[in-house]
Structure 1
Amino acid sequence: MSTSVVMGVDVGSTETKALVLDRAGHRLAIDRRRTPWRRNRDGGADIEADVLTDSVLSAIVNALRQAEATVDAATVEGIAFTGMAESGVLLGGDGRPAAPVIAWFDPRGGEELAAWPVELADEFSGRTGLPLSPLCSAAKLLWLTGQGHDLSTASHWLSVPEYLAHFLGAPPAAEPSLLSRTGLLDQATGKPWTELLEALGAPAGLLPESADAGKPLGTVRADRAPDALRGAVVTVAGHDHPVASVGAHAADDGHLFDSCGTSEALMRVISEPLADDQRRRLTEAGLAQGMHLLPNRWILLGGTRGGLMLGRTLRMLGLDHAEGRARLDADLAGSAQRPAHPPLRVHGAHAAATDIVLALASDDISPADVWDAALRHAMTESEAVIAAMEREVPAASSVTAAGGWTRMSSFRNAKATSLPATRFADVDQPSAFGAAVIAEWATRGRTGELAGLAAEFTHPDHHPSLTSAPTQKQELPA
C-alpha cells in the first residue's frame, strides 16, 4: 500500500534540499546536494537550466527512494518549491530557456548599471526597496541585453522556484515574495515597474500573472517527472527566507528571524509597507524591503557574511569537521570567563567584506581564542544590521534563530549573549520544511491557517533526527 506524502524543495545558493513528509507531518527523508554552479574567475557563477533541473529532479528521486525504505511505497500528493529569488530563467518566445541561470551573487551587470539613466538609478531603491547593485534580477537582465539577448521577444522571466514549478507542469506565475527581490516590482503599488521594463526593452508581460504562495497551480505532467510525482499538486512556496520563517514559527508581525547559514540573513517582519524615503535610507545601509509570502506582511532583510567567515575560520584552524567543532565547543564551555578585550581581533563578517583579517596582539593565542574572537565579530556585525532596522521600525518583539550554525553550542551561547531573548528553532532545514508545509496546504486548497498547520507539523513527536549526509562533502555546517 502506498503512503501519501508531500515534498518541499529548497534550491539554495549552496545546496538543494528535497524533504519528504507524510500527511501527518512526520519527516521521512531528505536529500541534500551541492547546487552545481559553473564557476568563473571573476567570482561569478551560472548554470544551464537543464543542468539545474536535472540536479533538482535527482534530489527529489533520491529523497523518495530514502522514504520508500521506510514506508515501502510513496505517492507524492503535493510539491512546493522555494529558494533563490534573484536568479532566474529567461524564457524565449518558444517558452524554452534562452540564457543560463546567473547566480544572484554573480557580479555581472555592475558595469551596465553604472551606465543607467540617472532618473532610473535615482528612483531605483525607493521604488524597489533594493540597493542598486548587481545582485537583483534587473541587473542580470541588463547584462543579458548587452550580450545580444532581445528581451522584446522573450515570453517570461521566472525565478528559479517559479521555473521549476513551471517545468513540472504549472503555468508561468510570479509569487510576490520572489517578485519583490527582482528589482522589477514597484513596492508602493505591488505591480511591475513599467518604466523599468520599458528601459530594458522588455514586454509588459515579461513578469507573469501574480499567484500567492501555496496556490495550487496545476499538477505534475507525466512526461516530466518520475512516476511517484505524476499528478501531484505543484505550487510555489516563495522566497527561502520568508518560507523558513513560516517553518520556524517566526512569521508574526514584530518577529526577527535570524537565519544562521553560510550567509547570515536577518529578516524583520512588519505589517505595513514602508515609504519610499524609508526604503531609500535602508538600502543606503545595505538593507532591503520585500514582501512576505503571508498576506499583509512585509520584510526588512539584511545580512552579514558571518557564516562564511566562521566557516573559513574553521578551515584555517584545521577544525572544519565534526570533531573539531565539538572540541571548540568544549574548550569555550569549559574555560573561565573570557576577557572582554581578547588579544586578537577578527574581521571579515561585514556584508561587503571579501577577506578575513586577524590582528594578533600576543603570541599566546589558542584556536579557542581565535574562534571566540570570530564569534564576537559575527555577533557585532549582526547587531549592526539590527540597529539599522531599528532606525526605521520599532525593536523586534521576539527573536528566533535557525540554521546550521545554531547546531554549535558555542555559537548558540554567543547568539544568546548578543540577543538574550533568542529562541532557537528545533526545525531542521526550515526552508525545505516550510515548503513542504505549504505543499500540504496547497493540497488542502489553502484552507485553514498556514501557521497553524506548521505548528501541527512540528509537534515534538514529529521530528526524528534527519542526519543523512549530502551527496558531496560539506565544507560548512550550514
Structure 2
Amino acid sequence: MEQQQYVVGLDVGTTSAKAVVFTLDGHVVATGRMGYEWDLAPFGAEIAATVLADAAHGALRRAVDATPPGPILSIGIASIGESGVLLDGSNRPLSPVIAWHDKRDGVELAKLAEEIGIDKFSSVTGLPFRHQWSLTKHRWFSESHPDVRNIGLRLNVAEWIAFSLGAAPATELSLASRTGWFDVINKTWWGETLEWSRMNEDALPELVTAGTCLGSVASGIISPRLAGAAITTAGQDHQSAAVGLGATLVGAEVDSCGTAEALVRTVDPISSRSAILALAQIGVTVGWHALPGKWCLLAGTEGGLILGRALSALGSKDFAADGLDEAARQITAPAIRAFVDDNGLLGFQGVGDDASPAELWRSTIELVTDQVTALHGSMSDIVGDHRELIVTGGWSASGALRDCKRRRLGEFSRPDVTEAGARGAAIFAGMAAGLWPDPISHTLTRSDLQPLSR
C-alpha cells in the first residue's frame, strides 16, 4: 500500500508559532504550537531571534512527532511582517527583534517626515505614515547601536525561520513590501530610504515570490523525517491566510473578525502613485501579495477590541450561551447608538431606563460594522468593487454581527477553515515541492469542507 504524503504549513505569529501537517488532499493529520513572550521595552517589545527560531522548531517537532508514517515533502513558512532579524558576517543575530507594534522610533518617524516627506514616502512604498515599518526602527538601531551598521544579512521573520532550517537567504515580496525600503511600482529596493535608515542594500538578499524553493531542511535539524523537505516562505501571515481561505482571485476580499478586524483584498498591480497615496492616506497598506503577480490591500479596525469591551461591560462571557446575541438579532430598529470617544473609550447614547443588554450589544455591533463598511467603501472608491467576500475569525460566530455585515456589505461565504495561515503556507509548500504550479491549482481543498452557518 502506498504511503500517505504530507506538506507542512508553519505560521509564526505575534504570540506563537503554529505548525499544521496536511495530506495532499487537505486533511489535517497533526498540529503543534509553541508560544513565546516578548520582552517589554520602554516603548514596546522585543524578542531574541533565537527564541522565535526555537519556538518554530518546537512547533514543527510536535507536529511531526504526531504525524502518521509517510514522507514529509515540504514546509511553507508565513509570519508577521515588519519585524526583522539582523545577522553578522557569521550569520549570528546581532540584536533583538523589535515588535511591529513597538513605538520607540518616534524621533525617527518625525525625521522621516521632515527629510523624505510623508506623501513621497507613502506614494512610493504604499505604506501609511505611522509607527510600524522596518526602516524607522532600523534607523533607531543604527543610531543607538552603531555596530548594526555593519550587518551581513537582514531577514524578515519567516525568512529567518527558513534560513534556520537550511534554506538560502531570500526576501519574499509581500514581506519586502512592509519594510518601507521597497518601491512597490518598480518592484525594487528604494535607495533613498535605504540610505536614510543606514541600511546597506547588500544585506538584503534576493527578492523571491512565495512558493519559491529555497533549499531543503538540513539533516540533524528537528527530526530525521524532515531531512530533505523543500523549504519556502509563504509571505505575510494575513496574505497567507487569504490564500488558505481561497481568496485568490482579483477582487476577493477577506474580512477577518479577530481582536483587530482586518480587510485583505486581492487586486491587480496599481500603476498610479496618486491612487497608492490615496489608499495609504485612509490607512490602507498597498503592496505585493504572496500570490504571484498580484497586489494586496490590507487595512484594519479595532472592531474585535470594541466588541470585547462591550461584552465585558455587559458582564457576558459567552454571547451565544446566555442568549444575548440571539436577542440582539431580533431587534429591528436599534434606538441606542454606540460610539468611541477621542480617548478610545466606548460609550452609548439614547440609553433609557428600560434599555436591555441586547440593545447595547446590538448597537456595538452596528458601530463596528459601520467602521469596517466605511473602510471597505473607501477602498472600493479607489480600486473598484470587490467581487467576493469571505468572512472569518472568532467574532464571526456572532449571528447578529453576520446579519449586520450582510445588510451593509452584501452576501459572503464563511468557510470552515481553521488555521488558515498555516493552510496557505502549506499550499505554497506544495509549490516548492513541485506538486502544483501555483497557489490556485492546488489539491489542498478537502472535499468535506463545508460553509459554516449563516
TM-score by length of 2: 0.91
Q: Which of residues 422, 437, 451 in structure 2 aligns to 1:448?
A: 437
Q: What is the Cα deviation at residue 272 of structure 1?
A: 2.7
In structure 2, the gaps of 5 or more residues are: none
1:48-67 equivalences in 2 (<5 Å)? 48-65=48-65, 67=66
Query: Deviation at 1:267?
Result: 1.8
Aligned to 2:13: 12
Instruction: Say which SS state the counterpart of residue 10 (structure 1) adopts.
Output: strand
Q: Output the amino acid matched with 1:78.
A: S
Q: Which residue of structure 1 lines up, in the alignment, with residue 320 of structure 2?
A: 326
Q: Which residue of the partner structure matches residue 116 of structure 1?
A: 112
CA distance in 1, matches of 2:307, 2:195: 43
Q: What is the CA-CA distance between 1:238 and the residue it aligns to?
A: 0.8
**Structure 2 residue 401 is the aligned partner of structure 1 residue 414:** no
1:342 aligns with 2:335: yes
Q: Does 1:175 align with 2:172?
A: yes
Residues 269-306 of structure 1: CA deviation (Å, up to 9, x unaligned) = 21132421222222111111111122221122211111
Superposed displacement of residue 104, structure 1 = 0.7
Provide Cα deviations, 1:326-372, integer angstroms capped at 9, x if missing partner.
225x4332567425343351437xxxx87331225234344333322
Paired position in structure 2 for 1:84: 80
Q: CA distance change for structure 1 residues 383 and 335 in 2, over 3 Å: closer, same or farther?
A: closer
Q: Which moved more, 1:171-180 or 1:402-411?
A: 402-411
Shift of 1:136: 0.7
Shift of the alpha carbon at 1:149?
3.5
2:352 equivalent to 1:356: no
Q: Which amino acid aligns with 1:161?
A: A
Change in 2 beyond 3 A, CA 1:434/1:126? same
Taking the aligned partners of 2:71 and 2:399, their CA distance within structure 1 comes to: 38
In structure 1, the partner of 2:91 is: 95
Equivalent residue of 1:312, what SS?
A: helix
Q: Which amino acid aligns with 1:64?
A: V
Compared with structure 1, are the counterparts of its residues 393 and 56 closer, same or farther at alpha carbon in structure 2 (3 Å cutoff)?
A: same
Q: CA deviation at 1:391?
A: 2.5
Rounded Cα–Cα distance in structure 2 between residues aligned with 1:303 and 1:269: 15
Amino acid in structure 1 at the alignment position of 2:365: L
Which residue in 2 is equivalent to 1:423? 413
**Cα contact 1:133–1:139 (8 A) shared by 2:** no
Q: Match of 1:476? A: none
Change in 2 beyond 3 A, CA 1:80/1:305: same
Q: In the alignment, what sits opposite 2:100?
A: 104
1:297-312 mapped onto 2 (5 Å cutoff)? 297-312=294-309
Partners of 2:332 and 2:107 lie apart in 1 by: 46
Cα deviation, residue 200, structure 1: 2.0
SS at match of 1:244: helix
Work out whether residues 328 and 361 of structure 2, in 8 Å CA contact, stay in contact via their aligned partners in 1: no
Pairs aligned (count): 449
Deviation at 1:75, TM superposition (A): 4.2
Q: Which moved more, 1:414-423 or 1:187-196?
A: 414-423
2-side partners of 1:428 and 1:463: how far apart?
A: 12
Aligned CA distance change for structure 1 residues 127 and 336 (closer, same or farther; 3 Å): closer
- In structure 2, give the amino acid aligned to 1:55: A
Determine if the alignment matches structure 1 residue 260 to structure 2 residue 257.
yes
Q: Are 2:329 and 2:399, in contact at CA under 8 Å, matched by a contact in 1?
A: no
- RMSD of Structure 2 on Structure 1 (CA): 2.4
Deviates more, 1:30-39 or 1:93-102: 30-39
Q: Which residue of 2 aligns with 1:288?
A: 285
Task: Please state whether the residue corresponding to 1:326 is helix, strand or coil.
Answer: coil
Point out the more displaced range, 375-384 or 144-153: 144-153
1:151 touches 1:200 (CA, 8 Å); kept in 2? no
Superposition deviation, residue 116 in structure 1: 3.1
User: Any conservation in 1 of the 2:8–2:75 contact (CA below 8 Å)?
Assistant: yes
Measured in 1, the distance between the counterparts of 2:354 and 2:17 equals 42
TM-score by length of 1: 0.87
Distance 2:405 2:114 in 1: 42
Change in CA separation of 1:342 and 1:16 when aligned onto 2, cut-off 3 Å: farther
CA distances 1:44-96 after superposition (whole Å, capped 9, x unpaired): 2211111111222222222233x33xx3x354221111021111211122211
Q: Deviations over 1:225-264 (max 9, x none)?
A: 2333222111101112221121111121122221222211
C-alpha contact 1:270 1:299 (8 A) present in aligned 2:
yes
Q: CA deviation at 1:151?
A: 4.2
Is it true that 1:189 corresponds to 2:183 in the alignment? no
Letter matched to residue 446 of structure 2:
H
In structure 2, the residue matched to 1:47 is 47
Give 1:457's match in structure 2, choosing from 435, 440, 444. Answer: 444
Cα distance, 1:388–1:274 mapped onto 2, change above 3 Å: farther
Q: State percent identity of aligned pairs.
A: 35
Is contact 1:403–1:430 with CA below 8 Å preserved after alignment? no
Q: Measure, in 2, the Cα distance between the counterparts of 1:448 and 1:64.
A: 25
Q: Tell me which moved more, 29-38 or 430-439.
A: 29-38
State how far apart, in whole Å, the 1-side matches of 2:417 and 2:73 are: 22
Q: Is the 8 A contact 1:49 1:100 kept in 2?
A: yes
Please tell me whether the aligned partners of residues 416 and 449 of structure 2 are also in contact (alpha carbons under 8 angstroms).
no
